[in-house]
Amino acid sequence: MGLHLPNNLLYGSIPSHIGNLSKLIILDLSFNSFSGNIPSEICILKSLEWISLAENEITGPIPASIGSLHHLSKLYLKRNRLSGSIPEQVCNLSKLTELDLSQNNFSRNIPSNIGRLLSSLSQLILNANNLTGPIPISIGSMHNLSRLVLVENRLNGSIPKEVGMMRSLVMLDLSVNYITGPIPPSLGNLSNSVWLYLYGNNLSGSIPNEIGQLGSLTTMQLSSNNLPGVIPTSMGNLTKLSSLYLFENKLSGSTPQEGQFLQRSAILLSCHHYNYHITISVVHYLNICRGRLLAYISVHNNNLTGHIPPSLKNCKSLYRVRLEGNHFTGNISEAFGVYPNLNYIALSNVRFYGELSPKWGQCHNLTSLQISNNKISGKIPPELKHATQLQQLGKIPPEIGVLSNLEHLNLASNNLSGPNLESAQSY
């Protein structure tokens, strides 16, 4: 028997006489506007296997008597206004496979024995609360857990090495907490992991070589920590990686050259407002676009040196490129090719020289070309008029007077020559 009332306009308190539905197996009141506390009478419905009160305005604590619902396998209370601690009695729900308490106001520690007593869990979602204290060591006993999401809490301490025992884990998200210490090498045992999010903590120590064992990984987010040292060469083994975020760290050294590292990845190594020094020579990204799927590359505001690699020049899939604020060198007319999908490219404040290539006119989807503060010389090629989607380029020469969408032109601090820009008067 089930009571299914999701996605309605119901409001007010959940009535206490719901406890009279003694044969109820499924209770779904999600996506309504219920308020008030969770009635303790729900906890006398001993046949309940599924409770979803998600997406309401329910307040107060989880009643401790919920631990008596021994048949309960799924408990969804996300996005309410629940408060207090996660009651220890939740750990009595030994058949529980999915627990989602996210986006509430729960505080205090995660129960220390949660992993040992809820070993059947496949999903533990506790993000966006005010949970404090360390990640329980017992969590390593959750051998069936596929998703562990603790992002946006106030957790502290280090990542327990026991997390590496959770071999079924597909997603690990510990981001935006106060976690310190190194990334444990044991995370290399998580061979099924697809998503690894550790950003926005205070992690320190080098990235362990064992990270290169995560052969299923597609996304790794380690940005906004205090990670020093080099990017380990073992990351060259991550052939499925599509997004790597390492910005706002203290990384240095050269990039991995092994395997097909980041052959189709979104590369984000930028330091933004930090003064950390990443002295990575992009010339080492020899296979940067080997998969011909690279669309986004952002390595701006670092100390990157060297020439633009040929693989990037020939990468037809590029959509958005940010290389500004580095120390690249080379002739700008030879460093870049034709990119039919390119929408945005920022090359300002680098050390490019030479003349603009007529090939930029073949980038028909280009809306922004930023090349100020280089050593570019010569004339604006008249072929640029064919890039009719351009909205940002700089001062408008007569050759590109037909670009009716142009709003910004910035070619400052170069050595450009040509006629007076009388055609700009019509804009």
In the chain, the amino acid numbered 11 is Y
Q: 287 lies in a domain?
A: no
Distance from C-alpha of 340 to C-alpha of 329, rounded to nearest angstrom: 24
Q: 62 lies in a domain?
A: yes
Distance from C-alpha of 328 to C-alpha of 324, rounded to nearest angstrom: 9
Q: Where are the beta strands (DSSP E) in 269-404?
A: 296-298, 305-306, 320-322, 327-331, 344-346, 351-354, 368-370, 375-378, 392-393
In the chain, the amino acid numbered 34 is F
Distance from C-alpha of 364 to C-alpha of 69, rounded to nearest angstrom: 62
Positive or negative, the CA dihedral 337, 338, 340, 343 is: positive
Please identify, among 59, 84, 109, the residue that sits at the C-terminal boundary of a domain.
84
pLDDT band at 180 (very low <50, low <70, confident <90, very high): very high
pTM: 0.73
Please identify, among 47, 67, 84, the residue that sits at the C-terminal boundary of a domain.
84
pLDDT surpasses 80 at 324 = yes
The β-bridge partners of 110 are none
Distance from C-alpha of 130 to C-alpha of 83, rounded to nearest angstrom: 9
Q: Which of 126, 91, 131, 123 is nearest to 107 (CA)?
A: 131
pLDDT of res. 400: 52
The β-bridge partners of 306 are 328
pLDDT band at 311 (very low <50, low <70, confident <90, very high): low
| Length in residues, the chain | 427
Domain that holds residue 334: 318-427
Instruction: Kindly state the average pLDDT of the residues 155-160.
Output: 98
pLDDT band at 286 (very low <50, low <70, confident <90, very high): very low
Instruction: Kindly state the average pLDDT of the residues 200-209.
Output: 94
Distance from C-alpha of 94 to C-alpha of 119, rounded to nearest angstrom: 7
Kindly report the average pLDDT of the chain as a whole number.
82
Which of helix, strand or coil describes residue 7?
A: coil
* CB contact at 8 A, 372 and 412: yes
Distance from C-alpha of 278 to C-alpha of 254, rounded to nearest angstrom: 9
* CB contact at 8 A, 312 and 305: no
pLDDT in tens, 325-367: 777 788 888 888 888 888 998 888 888 888 888 888 888 888 8
Region of poorest pLDDT, from 24-33, 245-254, 308-317: 245-254
Q: 242 lies in a domain?
A: no
Neighbours of 215 (CB within 10 A): 13
Q: Give 345's DSSP letter.
A: E
pLDDT of res. 287: 45
Q: 65 lies in a domain?
A: yes
pLDDT in tens, 367-420: 888 888 888 887 778 777 676 766 655 444 455 555 666 666 665 665 555 555
Please identify, among 84, 100, 122, the residue that sits at the C-terminal boundary of a domain.
84
Q: How many domains does the chain have?
A: 2
Distance from C-alpha of 138 to C-alpha of 150, rounded to nearest angstrom: 15
Q: 246 lies in a domain?
A: no
Region of poorest pLDDT, from 179-188, 239-248, 291-300: 291-300
Q: 89 lies in a domain?
A: no
Distance from C-alpha of 418 to C-alpha of 375, rounded to nearest angstrom: 16
In the chain, the amino acid numbered 302 is N
Region of poorest pLDDT, from 13-17, 152-156, 221-225, 264-268: 264-268
Instruction: Kindly state the average pLDDT of the residues 179-186.
Output: 97
Q: 427 lies in a domain?
A: yes
pLDDT surpasses 50 at 274 = no
Distance from C-alpha of 58 to C-alpha of 78, rounded to nearest angstrom: 10
Q: 164 lies in a domain?
A: no
pLDDT of res. 142: 95
pLDDT of res. 358: 83
pLDDT of res. 348: 87
Looking from the CA of 247 toward its CB, the CA atoms found within 13 Å total: 17
pLDDT surpasses 50 at 281 = no
pLDDT in tens, 54-112: 999 999 999 999 999 999 999 999 999 999 999 999 999 999 999 999 999 999 999 99
pLDDT surpasses 70 at 219 = yes
The β-bridge partners of 346 are 322, 370
| CA 358 to centroid of chain Cα atoms | 37
CATH code: domain of residue 2: 3.80.10.10
pLDDT of res. 264: 44
